[in-house]
C-alpha cells in the first residue's frame, strides 16, 4: 500500500443494478411490486413466514445468478494504493465476489440464514431455498439473515466509526431514504472529499466538498478509480 489514505465506499442497490439485481425505489423497483410491510418486517414474518421466505428465495436466486459488474471490479483496484472499507446496504455478495477484502453489510446477507431462537447461530445457505421446516441446531425455524424494517442495525455503530476515519467517501447507488444507514454521509469529518455516484438526483444538497457523478456505477467508477489512483 503506497500511502495510508482511507477510502470508505458506501453502496446501495444501484451498485448492483448493472448486475441485473432490482433496486427498491426506481420505477419498477421491488417496492413497486411488493408491499414492504408484507415481506420485510418482523410483523410480516409473524403473519406469513412462507410469503417472507418466498420473497427472499426469489431475491437469493437472482443474486446467485448475478455477477459483479465493472463498478464492483473497479473498487477492488483501489486496494492497490489505499486502505478501503466497503459499507454496503446490499444483501448480495457481489463486492466480495469481485474481490473487495473488507466489506460490512448493514442490512444483512441474503446467502445466510439465522436461528430465530439464538441470533448468534448463523449459517451459509448452500442453495437459493430456505423453507418452513429448515431448522437451526437447537431445533428452531431459520429466518433470512436480513435486517428488516423496524429492527436494529447491529453494524451501525461500527460503520459510523469507520466512516469518521475516511479521507474520501464514495457513495454509490443509494437513494439515501432509509435511516439509520442514510445518515452515514453525515459521519465524515470536516474536509473529507465526498463523491456521489448516481444517475439520478439524491438528497445531498448543501454538503461541502461533494462531487455528484451523475452516471451509472459501471461507467463512473472505473473512471473515478483511475483518477484517484493517478492522483496519488
* Residues taking part in catalysis: 107
Cell numbers for 107, please give them.
442490512
Q: At 150, list the grid cell.
A: 423496524
Q: How far is the CB of 134 from ligand OAD (least distance, A)?
A: 21
Q: Give yes or no for residue 12 binding ligand OAD (CB under 6 A).
A: yes
Out of 174, 188, 194, 195, point to the residue binding ligand OAD (CB under 6 A): 174
Q: What gap in Å lies between CA 179 and CA 92, rounded to an integer?
A: 19
The smaller minimum CB distance to ligand OAD, of residues 23 and 163, is found at 23
Q: What is the dihedral of CA 152, 86, 127, 112, to 10 degrees?
A: -30
Report the alpha-carbon distance of residue 134 to residue 125 in Å, rounded: 11
> Is there binding between residue 216 and ligand OAD (CB under 6 A)?
yes
For residue 139, what is the DSSP state?
S
Q: Would you tell me how many other CB atoms lie within 10 Å of the CB of residue 220? A: 22
**Pick from 147, 162, 184, 185: which binds ligand OAD (CB under 6 A)?**
147
Is 68 one of the binding residues for ligand OAD (CB under 6 A)?
Answer: no
When asked if residue 61 is in the footprint of ligand OAD (CB under 6 A), the reply is no
Q: Is 72 in the site for ligand OAD (CB under 6 A)?
A: no
Least distance to ligand OAD from the beta carbon of 62, Å?
A: 14
Residue nearest to ligand OAD (CB): 14
Contacts of 123 (CB under 8 A, 6+ apart): 112, 113, 114, 136, 142
First to last CA, the chain: 11
Q: Which residues of this chain interact with ligand OAD, rule CB under 6 A?
A: 12-14, 17-18, 23-26, 29, 40, 89, 107, 147, 149, 172-175, 177-178, 197-200, 202, 216-217
Amino acid at each position: 500500500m503506497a500511502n495510508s489514505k482511507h477510502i470508505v465506499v458506501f453502496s446501495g442497490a444501484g451498485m448492483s443494478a448493472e448486475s441485473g439485481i432490482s433496486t427498491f425505489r426506481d420505477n419498477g423497483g421491488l417496492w413497486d411490486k411488493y408491499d414492504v410491510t408484507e415481506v420485510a418486517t418482523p410483523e410480516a414474518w409473524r403473519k406469513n413466514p412462507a410469503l417472507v421466505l418466498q420473497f427472499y428465495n426469489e431475491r437469493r436466486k437472482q443474486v446467485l445468478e448475478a455477477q459483479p459488474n465493472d463498478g464492483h471490479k473497479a473498487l477492488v483496484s483501489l486496494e492497490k494504493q489505499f486502505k478501503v472499507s466497503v459499507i454496503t446496504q446490499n444483501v448480495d455478495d457481489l463486492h466480495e465476489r469481485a474481490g473487495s477484502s473488507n466489506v460490512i453489510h448493514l442490512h444483512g446477507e441474503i446467502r445466510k440464514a439465522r436461528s430465530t431462537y439464538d441470533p448468534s447461530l448463523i449459517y451459509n445457505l448452500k442453495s437459493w431455498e430456505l423453507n418452513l421446516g429448515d431448522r437451526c441446531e437447537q431445533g428452531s425455524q431459520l429466518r433470512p439473515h436480513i435486517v428488516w424494517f423496524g429492527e436494529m442495525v447491529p453494524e451501525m455503530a461500527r460503520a459510523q466509526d469507520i466512516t469518521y476515519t475516511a479521507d474520501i467517501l464514495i457513495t454509490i447507488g443509494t437513494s439515501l431514504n432509509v435511516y439509520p444507514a442514510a445518515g452515514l454521509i453525515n459521519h465524515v469529518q470536516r474536509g473529507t472529499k465526498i463523491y456521489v455516484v448516481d444517475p439520478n438526483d439524491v438528497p445531498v444538497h448543501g454538503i461541502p466538498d461533494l462531487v455528484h457523478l451523475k452516471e451509472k456505477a459501471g461507467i463512473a467508477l472505473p473512471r473515478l478509480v483511475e483518477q484517484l489512483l493517478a492522483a496519488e
